[in-house]
Structure 1
């Protein structure tokens, strides 16, 4: 399964495949036309409470990832994850996030889950 990570603010690339935004909140200052999304999978994003607790502090990433993995097993998110898995099964998919540190983001956790890491 080919899963890539990119910032939603970066220009789309011809090799992105399906472009899926995985943030719960729409990226500030970005038009839908500029984003060039195929899907907005906000139901697979972390809860507001978890997102606020994490605050993108790299030192909390391990605990954030553990808690987010648990959230992904909840029925609502599990269904959204299954939909994302189906999209990724059809060819390359690029998970998009507004986060500056992609390696310490929910997109990284999702990519690992989709790849079976």
Structure 2
């Protein structure tokens, strides 16, 4: 499975494959029709506490990434999600943040890619 990241505000494409919103909150100004989602998975998003902490401390990106990855490992939703969706050839992780580099989507992408290697 190929896992890519994309802002939800970008137009949907047939190349997106399975489109999954990974934000805990619904993106401002986005309608369900425009989003064209296959799934909205809040379980794979950072906890509310971690998200709030990062918004107050954006300079601590590396710490956020480590804490988020720890949350993902503790919750173990990634493994069950990958097993349930193994038939998908492309999965697009959708997020709303304007910062394309320092977004939880890139951490989740790497985490899921790493998990795929162990399954």
TM class by smaller structure: 0.7 to 0.9
**CA-based RMSD:** 1.9
Matched, 1:8 2:8: yes
CA distance in 2, matches of 1:71, 1:44: 9
Q: SS of the residue aligned with 2:15?
A: coil
Unaligned runs of 5+ in 1: none
Equivalent residues in 2 for 1:53-64 (5 A)? 53-55=53-55, 58-64=58-64
The equivalent residue for 1:38 is: 38
Can you give the 5+ residue segments of structure 2 that lack an aligned partner in the other structure? none
CA distance in 2: counterparts of 1:56 and 1:85, whole angstroms: 32
The structure 1 segments of at least 4 consecutive aligned residues displaced by more than 3 Å after TM superposition are none
Distance 1:55 1:115 in 2: 26
TM-score (norm 2): 0.86
* Inter-partner Cα distance in structure 2 for 1:51 and 1:68: 9
Q: Does 1:24 align with 2:31?
A: no
- CA displacement at 1:29 relative to structure 2: 1.3
| Paired positions, count | 114
1:18–1:49 Cα change, 3 Å: same
Query: Partner residue of 1:51?
Result: 51
Verify: 1:102 aligned to 2:100, yes or no. Answer: yes
User: How far apart are residue 82 of structure 1 and its match?
Assistant: 2.6
Question: Once the 2 structures are TM-superposed, how far is the Cα of residue 9 of structure 1 from its aligned partner?
Answer: 0.9
Q: Distance in 1 between matches of 2:86 and 2:46?
A: 19
1:8/1:96 contact within 8 Å kept: yes
SS of residue matched to 2:6: strand
